[in-house]
């Protein structure tokens, strides 16, 4: 799937001026509230008309101010899930789902209907009125309705923003499953970094003040505190590609293979041995040493080579970039620690990471993108 757009649109004092081109199937749009993420999604969907520019989806141009082309929303083949579920209160769940089929190029088969119902685990809800649904249940129904419209592209506009923490934990696995089991292109909007890392761990476009400030690999984005913003800046770090090497139920741990080195993390019950995942390692959680230590509580000690050393924007920190078996690992240490260790490019060092520091990180399967 490809998205190509270059648009300008003024809304009062706010100007949206965005250019983006990517072939990635899953795209994360990240930025603070008011940055222009939802406005950009509305432009893609045909719910807002730019002043000038173009929008192209999968090689099909749907808007072009130069030629006067502006396909209406219902002809763009796009499924849209809003922050609020927006279900029809006079329909039950089954009829809300069936409504999506009215906009499909061909009516969804019974098998397709059942597949969507099973994927979202909403079979027990089919006869219920929408007023009796929880927020998480309503969002799952809204996603199902969008899928049954047979879209070429699915837009998810902060679908978890209106939910409390328990309901977010309820819905997020279903969106992950959708990403894993479907070939459908998805644009996922969020201002929460943990959501983004679970759903768009390959490609991110960062929106700032109506502009695309960055577009590219999620790993590169994650290493840029300036792009993460004040709230998420402390989460800056890297994504390590690993696979599940084993489980240690006696101690409540799982073992991850990072090439020939090992990481121990709190047990991942829903991940099978051999499964490839990414692990988010925050730079602030990494401790550096000149050699391995044998009397420490830190189970994880990864040997690597210093690639770069540079001062952080703060006046007390230094960022050290390591190469660990071909993967980047960042460590943020104090200037005092840097003065004591004297890290230099080419120097071998050991990165220590507490297993508990990885307890609540985003575990994203790699086989879904």
Q: How far apart are CA 225 and CA 207, in angstroms?
A: 14
Query: What is the pLDDT, as a whole number, of residue 367?
Result: 44
Query: What tens digit of pLDDT does each residue of 32-50 get?
Result: 989 999 999 999 999 999 9
The boundaries of the domain holding residue 56 are 3-234
* 59 or 229, greater pLDDT: 59
Q: Are residues 172 and 127 in the same domain?
A: yes
Query: What tens digit of pLDDT does each residue of 85-139 get?
Result: 899 999 999 999 988 888 777 777 788 899 899 989 999 999 999 998 999 999 9
Q: Mark which of 212, 234, 256 sits at the end of a domain.
A: 234
Q: Is 85 inside any structural domain?
A: yes
Q: How far apart are CA 323 and CA 310, in angstroms?
A: 15
Share of the chain above pLDDT 90, in %: 59
Backbone dihedral region of 314: left (phi > 0), alpha (psi from -120 to 50 degrees) or beta? beta
How many domains, in total, are found in the chain? 2
CATH of the domain at 7: 3.40.50.300
Q: Is 150 inside any structural domain?
A: yes
Query: What is the pLDDT, as a whole number, of residue 368?
Result: 42
pLDDT at 254 over 80: yes
Name residue, tokens 């679908």.
159
Residue range 170-180: average pLDDT? 81
Mean pLDDT of the chain: 89
Q: Are residues 243 and 214 in the same domain?
A: no
CATH of the domain at 261: 2.40.50.100
pLDDT at 147 over 60: yes
Q: Are residues 256 and 211 in the same domain?
A: no
Q: Are residues 185 and 223 in the same domain?
A: yes
Residue range 303-332: average pLDDT? 91
Query: What tens digit of pLDDT does each residue of 301-314 get?
Result: 999 999 999 887 76
Residue range 321-326: average pLDDT? 96
Q: Are residues 270 and 227 in the same domain?
A: no
Q: Are residues 147 and 48 in the same domain?
A: yes
Of 193, 194, 227, 231, residue with least CA distance to 208: 227
Q: Are residues 146 and 250 in the same domain?
A: no
End-to-end distance of the chain based on CA atoms, in angstroms? 12
Query: What is the pLDDT, as a whole number, of residue 360?
Result: 57
Please report which helix (H) or strand (E) contains residue 113, including its range: helix 110-120
Q: Are residues 275 and 164 in the same domain?
A: no
Q: Are residues 210 and 243 in the same domain?
A: no
Residue range 199-224: average pLDDT? 90
* 9 or 228, greater pLDDT: 9
What pTM did the predictor assign?
Answer: 0.83
- The β-bridge partners of 30 are 190, 206
Residue range 254-263: average pLDDT? 93
With cut-offs at 50, 70 and 90, classify the pLDDT of residue 356.
confident
Share of the chain above pLDDT 70, in %: 96
Of 183, 189, 180, 186, residue with least CA distance to 160: 189
Q: Is 291 inside any structural domain?
A: no
Q: Are residues 92 and 120 in the same domain?
A: yes
pLDDT at 267 over 60: yes
Q: Is 158 inside any structural domain?
A: yes
Query: What is the pLDDT, as a whole number, of residue 362?
Result: 52
Q: Are residues 323 and 189 in the same domain?
A: no
Spatial neighbors of 10 by CB under 8 A, at least 6 apart, are 16, 51
Query: What tens digit of pLDDT does each residue of 233-244 get?
Result: 888 899 898 999
Q: How far apart are CA 77 and CA 72, in angstroms?
A: 10
Q: Are residues 258 and 181 in the same domain?
A: no
């Amino acid at each position: 799937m490809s998205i190509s757009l270059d648009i300008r649109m003024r809304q009062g004092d706010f100007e949206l001026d965005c250019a983006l081109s990517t072939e990635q199937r899953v795209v994360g749009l990240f930025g603070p509230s008011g940055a222009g993420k939802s406005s950009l999604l509305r432009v893609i969907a045909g719910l807002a008309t730019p002043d000038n520019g173009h929008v192209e989806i999968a090689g099909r141009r749907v808007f072009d101010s130069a030629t006067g082309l502006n396909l209406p929303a219902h002809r763009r083949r796009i499924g849209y899930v809003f922050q609020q579920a927006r279900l029809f209160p006079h329909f039950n769940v089954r009829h809300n789902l069936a409504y999506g089929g009215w906009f499909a190029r061909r009516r969804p088969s019974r098998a397709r209907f059942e597949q969507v119902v099973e994927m979202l685990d909403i079979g027990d809800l089919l006869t219920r009125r929408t007023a009796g649904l929880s927020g998480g249940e309503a969002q799952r129904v809204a996603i199902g309705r969008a899928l049954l419209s047979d879209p070429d592209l699915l837009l998810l506009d902060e679908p978890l923003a209106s939910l409390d923490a328990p309901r977010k934990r309820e819905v997020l696995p279903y969106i992950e499953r959708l990403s894993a089991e479907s070939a459908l292109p998805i644009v996922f909007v969020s201002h929460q970094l943990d959501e983004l890392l679970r759903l768009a761990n390959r490609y991110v476009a960062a929106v700032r003040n109506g502009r695309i400030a960055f577009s590219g690999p999620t790993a590169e984005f994650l290493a840029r505190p300036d792009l993460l913003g004040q709230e998420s800046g402390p989460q800056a770090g890297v994504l390590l590609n690993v696979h599940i090497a084993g489980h240690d139920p006696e101690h409540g741990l799982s073992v991850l293979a990072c090439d020939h080195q090992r990481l121990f993390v709190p047990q991942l019950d829903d991940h099978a041995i051999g499964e490839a995942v990414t692990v988010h390692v925050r730079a602030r959680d990494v401790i550096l040493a000149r050699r391995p230590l044998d009397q420490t509580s830190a189970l994880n000690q990864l040997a690597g080579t210093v690639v770069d050393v540079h001062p952080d924007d703060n006046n007390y920190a230094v960022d050290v970039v390591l190469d660990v078996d071909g993967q980047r690992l960042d460590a943020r240490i104090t200037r005092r620690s840097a003065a004591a260790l004297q890290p230099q490019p080419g120097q071998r060092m050991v990165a220590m990471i507490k297993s508990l520091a990885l307890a609540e990180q985003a575990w994203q399967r790699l086989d879904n993108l």
